[in-house]
Amino acid sequence: MSALQMDADWRPFHPAPSKPAFVLPPGAVDAHCHVFGPGARFPFAPERKYTPCDAGKEQLWALRDFLGFERNVIVQATCHGTDNRAVVDALEHANGRARGVAAVSEDISDAALQSLDAAGIRGVRFNFLKRLADAPPQATLMRIAERIRRWHWHIVIYFEAQELPELYDFFASLPTVVVVDHMGRPDVSRALDGPEFGLMLKLMREHSNFWCKVSCPERLSKLPPPDYDDVVPFARHMVESFPERVLWGTDWPHPNMKTHMPDDGQLVDFIPRIATSAALQRKLLVDNPHALYWDR
Ligand code: 0GY
């Protein structure tokens, strides 16, 4: 597989998103997005499970400005493995307007962690989706978790809802703030008050170090795009139950969206449906991400 040849079924990000009707509050943060390469400068990892299109920092800044965000949190995508250079390069060219979440292996040195911190990395991501990565043993992850405490970083976890029963005790034992991607990927055709989403709500309720991204309706919805009506009750419930511990992000450039590519402007217009007051919107988009990523 060539480092530069994107997968045959790869869908590039939306070339011309619509201007959202929802005006984002001043200081709004897109708290979940990625950069891909460009592959010629930042090669994709040999162990990657997909090869995306290039989606570099300049394109991310253009989207940020067009949608009305002021800042970004750039999350290391699995196609770059534990080589965080593309994210670090973006952070170093963001004039303080971006922070990052890295992927690291256990053999990383303290000096390397220190320099990631200086660049603006504030967390590490543990990915449990088998189609994306082969997760290291839990004991290894726990040792990484213990080491990053020194920099007051947090852990971002990405998993499928059906894996949560098995992973619950491990997650609950993590010693840092923990941020769950995309609400723990619930099956939104199931009941909001059923056992599956109930376990995710229990994690949030019983562990005050847990945060959650109410992102990716386009991944979770079972309905034709772009209304994502079936995701609204889940995300709204999360925002209203845990207003101080929710984050939102576009997920640009939307890796592995095989059936449709969302319009990022329409995604922004989803926000007022799940955060229905100015106060909730301000927490979700400004206060919470600033507290976690800038006000350490
Ligand atoms: C996301 C979701 C996905 C991919 C990754 O790091 C990644 O490759 O996170 C996915 O395919 O569900 O959050 O970007």
Strand, helix or coil for residue 158: strand
Query: What is the pLDDT, as a whole number, of residue 204?
Result: 98
Residue 1 pLDDT greater than 80, yes or no:
no
Query: What is the pLDDT, as a whole number, of residue 129?
Result: 97
CA distance 247 to 179: 9
In short, whether 250's Cβ falls inside 6 Å of ligand 1 is no
Q: Which residue puts its alpha carbon closest to atom 2 of ligand 1?
A: 255
Residue 4 pLDDT greater than 90, yes or no:
no
> With 0-12 CB in 10 A as exposed, 13-18 as middle and 19+ as buried, what is 151?
middle
Q: Which residue puts its alpha carbon closest to atom 6 of ligand 1?
A: 77
Rounded to the nearest angstrom, the distance between the alpha carbon of 255 and the centre of ligand 1 is 6
In short, whether 31's Cβ falls inside 6 Å of ligand 1 is no
Q: Is 251 a catalytic residue?
A: yes
Task: Kindly state the tokens that stand for 15.
Answer: 């070339």
Query: What is the pLDDT, as a whole number, of residue 287?
Result: 98
pLDDT in tens, 32-66: 999 999 999 999 999 999 999 999 999 999 999 99
Query: What is the pLDDT, as a whole number, of residue 232?
Result: 98
- Position of tokens 């949190």? 73
Catalytic residue among 251, 269, 287, 295, which?
Answer: 251
CA distance 79 to 9: 16
Please compute the mean of the pLDDT values over residues 109-125 and round it to a whole number: 98
| Residue 2 pLDDT grade (very low, low, confident, very high; cuts 50, 70, 90) | very low
Q: How many CB atoms lie within 10 A of CB 65?
A: 10
CA distance 96 to 98: 6
What is the residue-averaged pLDDT of the chain? 97
Residue 3 pLDDT greater than 60, yes or no:
no
In short, whether 181's Cβ falls inside 6 Å of ligand 1 is yes
Q: State which of 134, 158, 163 you would mutate to test the pocket of ligand 1, scoring each by most atoms of that ligand within 8 A of its C-beta.
A: 158
Rounded to two decimals, the pTM is 0.97
β-pairing verdict for 178-180 and 210-213: parallel
Best CA proximity match to 294, nearest among 103, 99, 60: 99
